[in-house]
Amino acid sequence: MFFIPYAFVHTYWRSEPPVLSRDIDLMSDPRVIAGMAFGTGTDADVAASTSLGSLDGLLFSDCGSRGIYPWVLPVGVRNRDRKLPGQQYCPHCLAADERPYLRKRWRLAVASVCLEHQRMLLDRCNGCASPLMPFRSRALHVCWACNTDLREAATEPAHPHAVRFNQMAQDALRSGWGSLGPSTFHYSPVMFSVLRQLGRTIISGPRSQALRTVLSGLSNVSDRPFVFVGGRGEVEFLSADERHRMHAMITALVDDWPHTYLACMSAAGMWHSWALRDMPNVPHALRTVVDAGLRPRTYSPPVEEVVEAARYIARRGNGVSGRQLRRLIGDSIHHREAVARVLAPPLVPALEPAEAVPLSQD
């Protein structure tokens, strides 16, 4: 018997817990799993393995309770709408399926390439650019909004560096371990946490533009600033093609680990505390590399670097204080001056913009 999704939800879950008003893939509530297993005649373990919660201990660890899932794409659920392009797909895979289905991997921010077809994944309808909402579609391979057949979408070839990143992530998710150069990670979430921090260093924060410029030369991808969807400057809030570019850059950074990493970070003027920025639990493998190879904690940065850090904090919108500066870059004799320079009004009023002068066309 076939159900449309709404009827299935109503029949097997009623409204408790309210599945369609949340990210259903992330729900590992035993009642939801049991309802799904019973309703579809599936073994309970198989049903549980389709949830993204099954990646606890492989991709992330211990974060479900706080509702934060590193490297999982948010779908931006609002009521029963999905506002963010967190459901990726490969049209060629869907076209090859006897009954098209969405792969679990397509919800992950470590995936930007179909390894089978070596093409970039898509994350929106090719007809109307809507994020996918499969529970609203008349079939999984059809856009809910405009009825475009997603199997007919054109794709771009994948960048070789991005393919390597996707393959490395896929291998680690399958085996539960991974390695960067001589560092072996016996628990793959630790490696994913290091990779995520490298991604964060590339896409935002002080000196990230300088780092991108260095990496652009090594990976042959653009060094333009990253554009985020959904307003948060994190790796999970990049579109599929922006993440593809980040994956290519991360691969360049981990090549010959940790030598290329240290060389690029130093060339970009990125120092110790910025490399570990906002990281609550720094993995030992990263801490050792950064401690040994980047400017040490006792280093006292020149005033311009402190001002740059203060500007970075101010841009995040919660004011700027000496305490925040200390947290970001450690002790410095320049904190007071940097805060004053960032908070002080400009000495001369901003000039009116110059009148536009039409340019000659020849």
Assess 94 for contact with Zn ion (CB under 5 A).
no
Please, which residue, 106 or 261, has the CB nearer to Zn ion? 106
**What's the CA gap between 120 and 196, in Å, rounded?**
20
- Through-space distance between the first and last CA atoms of the chain, rounded to whole angstroms: 69
Query: Distance between CA 22 and CA 89 in Å, rounded?
Result: 20
- Binding-site size for Zn ion (CB under 5 A) equals 14
User: Closest approach of Cβ 338 to Zn ion, in Å?
Assistant: 49
CA gap 228, 209 in Å, rounded: 15
Residues 183-222, interacting with Zn ion (CB under 5 A) = none
User: Could you tell me if 264 and 215 are in contact, meaning their C-beta atoms sit under 8 angstroms apart?
Assistant: yes
Q: Cα(128)–Cα(143) distance, rounded to whole angstroms?
A: 9
By the rule CB under 5 A, 90 interacts with Zn ion: yes
CB 250 within 8 A of CB 202: yes
Q: How far is the CB of 126 from Zn ion (least distance, A)?
A: 8
Using the minimum distance from each CB to Zn ion, give the nearer residue, 145 or 218.
145
**Judged by CB under 5 A, does residue 153 bind Zn ion?**
no
28, 61, 92, 216: which one binds Zn ion (CB under 5 A): 92
CB nearer to Zn ion: pick between 93 and 286:
93
333 lies in the binding site for Zn ion (CB under 5 A): no
Number of other CB atoms surrounding residue 22 within 10 Å: 15
Does 146 bind Zn ion (CB under 5 A)? Our answer is: yes
Q: Which one of 98-106, 111-119, 164-172, 233-241 is the stretch in contact with Zn ion (CB under 5 A)?
A: 111-119
Among 108, 125, 142, 320, binds Zn ion (CB under 5 A): 125
Cis previous bond, 283, omega within 30: no
Nearest approach, Cβ of residue 169 and Zn ion (Å): 16
* Pick 92 or 104: Cβ nearer Zn ion: 92
Report the residue number, 36 or 142, with the smaller CB distance to Zn ion.
Answer: 142
Taking CB under 5 A as the rule, does residue 127 contact Zn ion?
yes
Instruction: Tell me if 343 contacts Zn ion by CB under 5 A.
Output: no
* Residue with tokens 């995520």, as numbered in its chain: 196
Angle at 346 between CA 342 and CA 347, to 5 degrees: 130
Query: What residues pair up with 89 in beta bridges, in sequence order?
Result: 122
In whole angstroms, how far apart are CA 38 and each of 3, 11, 139, 329?
A: 14, 11, 22, 54
**Which residues form the interface with Zn ion (CB under 5 A)?**
90, 92-93, 114, 116-117, 125, 127-128, 130, 143, 145-146, 148
